[in-house]
Structure 1
Amino acid sequence: MEIQESLMPREKMQRYGIEVLSDIELLALFLRTGTRTQDVMTFSRELLQRFGSLYGLLSAEESQFAEVEGIGLAKYAQLKGIAELARRYFSLRMTENPRWLPHR
Protein backbone atom coordinates (compact mmCIF):
# COMPACT_ATOMS: atom_id res chain seq x y z
CA MET A 1 0.00 0.00 0.00
CA GLU A 2 1.44 3.35 -1.04
CA ILE A 3 0.72 6.12 1.45
CA GLN A 4 -0.15 9.55 0.09
CA GLU A 5 2.29 11.86 1.88
CA SER A 6 0.50 15.09 0.95
CA LEU A 7 -2.40 14.33 3.28
CA MET A 8 -2.72 16.23 6.53
CA PRO A 9 -2.39 14.07 9.66
CA ARG A 10 -6.11 13.71 10.39
CA GLU A 11 -6.91 12.67 6.81
CA LYS A 12 -3.88 10.37 6.67
CA MET A 13 -4.94 8.71 9.94
CA GLN A 14 -8.48 8.25 8.68
CA ARG A 15 -7.30 6.68 5.44
CA TYR A 16 -4.36 4.55 6.64
CA GLY A 17 -4.60 4.27 10.44
CA ILE A 18 -2.95 6.09 13.33
CA GLU A 19 0.13 3.86 13.38
CA VAL A 20 1.41 5.19 10.03
CA LEU A 21 1.75 8.77 11.30
CA SER A 22 5.26 10.08 11.91
CA ASP A 23 6.09 11.72 15.23
CA ILE A 24 5.75 15.11 13.52
CA GLU A 25 2.31 14.25 12.16
CA LEU A 26 1.15 12.81 15.48
CA LEU A 27 2.25 15.93 17.32
CA ALA A 28 0.54 18.13 14.70
CA LEU A 29 -2.65 16.13 15.17
CA PHE A 30 -2.69 17.07 18.86
CA LEU A 31 -1.55 20.67 18.50
CA ARG A 32 -4.04 21.37 15.66
CA THR A 33 -2.62 24.84 14.93
CA GLY A 34 0.78 26.33 14.34
CA THR A 35 1.93 29.84 15.14
CA ARG A 36 1.48 33.20 13.44
CA THR A 37 4.49 32.46 11.26
CA GLN A 38 4.46 28.63 10.94
CA ASP A 39 1.91 26.03 9.93
CA VAL A 40 1.34 23.20 12.39
CA MET A 41 3.56 20.72 10.52
CA THR A 42 6.55 23.10 10.46
CA PHE A 43 5.99 24.02 14.10
CA SER A 44 5.79 20.34 15.12
CA ARG A 45 8.99 19.53 13.20
CA GLU A 46 10.85 22.39 14.87
CA LEU A 47 9.63 21.39 18.35
CA LEU A 48 10.85 17.83 17.87
CA GLN A 49 14.20 19.04 16.54
CA ARG A 50 14.61 21.44 19.45
CA PHE A 51 13.74 18.87 22.16
CA GLY A 52 15.28 15.87 20.39
CA SER A 53 12.32 13.49 20.56
CA LEU A 54 8.74 13.09 21.74
CA TYR A 55 10.10 12.03 25.12
CA GLY A 56 12.29 15.12 25.34
CA LEU A 57 9.40 17.36 24.35
CA LEU A 58 6.84 15.86 26.71
CA SER A 59 9.19 15.73 29.68
CA ALA A 60 10.52 19.29 29.27
CA GLU A 61 10.04 21.81 32.05
CA GLU A 62 7.94 24.96 31.72
CA SER A 63 11.06 27.14 31.68
CA GLN A 64 12.29 25.33 28.55
CA PHE A 65 9.02 26.10 26.76
CA ALA A 66 9.24 29.77 27.70
CA GLU A 67 12.16 30.04 25.28
CA VAL A 68 10.08 28.78 22.33
CA GLU A 69 8.19 31.29 20.22
CA GLY A 70 4.62 30.10 19.73
CA ILE A 71 4.34 28.16 22.99
CA GLY A 72 1.93 29.96 25.23
CA LEU A 73 -0.08 28.61 28.12
CA ALA A 74 -2.56 26.83 25.81
CA LYS A 75 0.03 24.80 23.88
CA TYR A 76 2.07 24.17 27.03
CA ALA A 77 -1.08 22.80 28.70
CA GLN A 78 -1.80 20.61 25.67
CA LEU A 79 1.68 19.11 25.71
CA LYS A 80 1.73 18.50 29.46
CA GLY A 81 -1.78 17.04 29.20
CA ILE A 82 -0.63 14.59 26.52
CA ALA A 83 2.28 13.53 28.74
CA GLU A 84 0.02 13.02 31.75
CA LEU A 85 -2.54 11.10 29.70
CA ALA A 86 0.20 8.77 28.45
CA ARG A 87 1.58 8.33 31.99
CA ARG A 88 -1.86 7.39 33.35
CA TYR A 89 -2.53 5.06 30.43
CA PHE A 90 0.68 3.12 31.00
CA SER A 91 0.18 3.11 34.76
CA LEU A 92 -3.25 1.56 34.35
CA ARG A 93 -2.00 -0.81 31.68
CA MET A 94 0.62 -2.15 34.08
CA THR A 95 -1.93 -2.79 36.84
CA GLU A 96 -4.73 -4.07 34.61
CA ASN A 97 -2.49 -6.19 32.40
CA PRO A 98 0.31 -7.58 34.61
CA ARG A 99 1.86 -9.65 31.80
CA TRP A 100 3.76 -6.44 30.95
CA LEU A 101 5.60 -6.70 34.27
CA PRO A 102 8.96 -8.51 34.21
CA HIS A 103 8.93 -12.09 35.51
CA ARG A 104 10.85 -12.77 38.69
Structure 2
Amino acid sequence: MRPRESREIRGRILKILDANYPFPAGDHLISQILTDARYCCSPAEVETHLTYLSEKGYLETEKVKSEELGITRILARLTAAGKDLLEGSIPADPGVTL
Protein backbone atom coordinates (compact mmCIF):
# COMPACT_ATOMS: atom_id res chain seq x y z
CA MET A 1 0.00 0.00 0.00
CA ARG A 2 1.27 3.43 -0.93
CA PRO A 3 1.97 5.95 1.88
CA ARG A 4 -0.54 8.48 0.50
CA GLU A 5 -3.31 5.90 0.48
CA SER A 6 -2.40 4.78 4.01
CA ARG A 7 -2.69 8.36 5.25
CA GLU A 8 -6.10 8.71 3.57
CA ILE A 9 -7.35 5.46 5.09
CA ARG A 10 -6.23 6.55 8.57
CA GLY A 11 -8.12 9.82 8.16
CA ARG A 12 -11.19 7.95 6.96
CA ILE A 13 -11.03 5.63 9.98
CA LEU A 14 -10.96 8.62 12.33
CA LYS A 15 -13.98 10.09 10.56
CA ILE A 16 -15.84 6.77 10.86
CA LEU A 17 -15.15 6.70 14.58
CA ASP A 18 -16.12 10.37 14.92
CA ALA A 19 -19.56 9.56 13.49
CA ASN A 20 -20.03 7.02 16.30
CA TYR A 21 -18.35 9.08 19.05
CA PRO A 22 -18.23 8.43 22.01
CA PHE A 23 -19.09 4.80 21.27
CA PRO A 24 -16.75 2.22 19.70
CA ALA A 25 -17.01 0.63 16.27
CA GLY A 26 -15.78 -2.81 15.31
CA ASP A 27 -13.00 -3.52 12.85
CA HIS A 28 -15.42 -5.49 10.67
CA LEU A 29 -17.73 -2.49 10.29
CA ILE A 30 -14.77 -0.18 9.63
CA SER A 31 -13.51 -2.58 6.94
CA GLN A 32 -16.95 -2.67 5.27
CA ILE A 33 -17.22 1.12 5.22
CA LEU A 34 -13.73 1.44 3.72
CA THR A 35 -14.63 -1.13 1.05
CA ASP A 36 -17.83 0.79 0.25
CA ALA A 37 -15.66 3.93 -0.14
CA ARG A 38 -13.55 2.02 -2.70
CA TYR A 39 -10.49 1.49 -0.51
CA CYS A 40 -8.94 -1.95 -0.93
CA CYS A 41 -8.02 -2.80 2.62
CA SER A 42 -7.64 -6.30 4.03
CA PRO A 43 -8.64 -7.04 7.65
CA ALA A 44 -4.92 -7.24 8.52
CA GLU A 45 -4.34 -3.79 7.00
CA VAL A 46 -7.28 -2.35 8.96
CA GLU A 47 -5.76 -3.78 12.14
CA THR A 48 -2.41 -2.23 11.23
CA HIS A 49 -4.01 1.20 10.75
CA LEU A 50 -5.91 0.86 14.04
CA THR A 51 -2.65 -0.02 15.81
CA TYR A 52 -0.88 2.99 14.28
CA LEU A 53 -3.68 5.38 15.27
CA SER A 54 -3.80 3.87 18.75
CA GLU A 55 -0.04 4.34 19.21
CA LYS A 56 -0.51 7.98 18.22
CA GLY A 57 -3.18 8.34 20.90
CA TYR A 58 -6.02 9.12 18.49
CA LEU A 59 -8.05 6.06 19.40
CA GLU A 60 -8.27 3.24 21.91
CA THR A 61 -8.70 -0.39 20.92
CA GLU A 62 -9.94 -3.44 22.73
CA LYS A 63 -9.94 -7.04 21.47
CA VAL A 64 -13.11 -8.90 22.28
CA LYS A 65 -13.49 -12.61 21.77
CA SER A 66 -16.54 -14.84 21.67
CA GLU A 67 -15.61 -18.45 22.28
CA GLU A 68 -19.18 -19.50 21.54
CA LEU A 69 -19.18 -17.87 18.11
CA GLY A 70 -15.50 -18.43 17.45
CA ILE A 71 -14.84 -14.82 16.50
CA THR A 72 -12.49 -12.08 17.60
CA ARG A 73 -13.19 -8.42 16.94
CA ILE A 74 -11.30 -5.23 17.61
CA LEU A 75 -13.39 -2.40 18.98
CA ALA A 76 -12.01 1.07 18.37
CA ARG A 77 -13.11 4.29 20.06
CA LEU A 78 -12.02 7.82 19.20
CA THR A 79 -10.15 9.60 22.00
CA ALA A 80 -10.21 13.29 22.84
CA ALA A 81 -6.89 13.66 20.99
CA GLY A 82 -8.45 12.10 17.89
CA LYS A 83 -11.41 14.46 18.14
CA ASP A 84 -9.03 17.41 18.52
CA LEU A 85 -7.09 16.30 15.43
CA LEU A 86 -10.30 16.10 13.40
CA GLU A 87 -11.43 19.52 14.61
CA GLY A 88 -8.05 21.14 13.95
CA SER A 89 -7.52 21.98 17.64
CA ILE A 90 -4.07 20.38 17.53
CA PRO A 91 -1.43 20.53 14.79
CA ALA A 92 -2.00 18.34 11.72
CA ASP A 93 -0.34 14.95 11.74
CA PRO A 94 1.73 14.09 8.64
CA GLY A 95 0.70 10.43 9.00
CA VAL A 96 -3.02 11.19 8.69
CA THR A 97 -4.82 12.93 5.81
CA LEU A 98 -8.12 14.51 6.82
**What TM-score comes out, normalization by structure 1 length?**
0.29
Find the structure with the greater CA-based Rg: 1
- Select the structure with the greater relative contact order (CA < 8 A; seq sep ≥ 6): 2
Q: Comparing both structures, which one devotes a greater share of its residues to strand?
A: 2
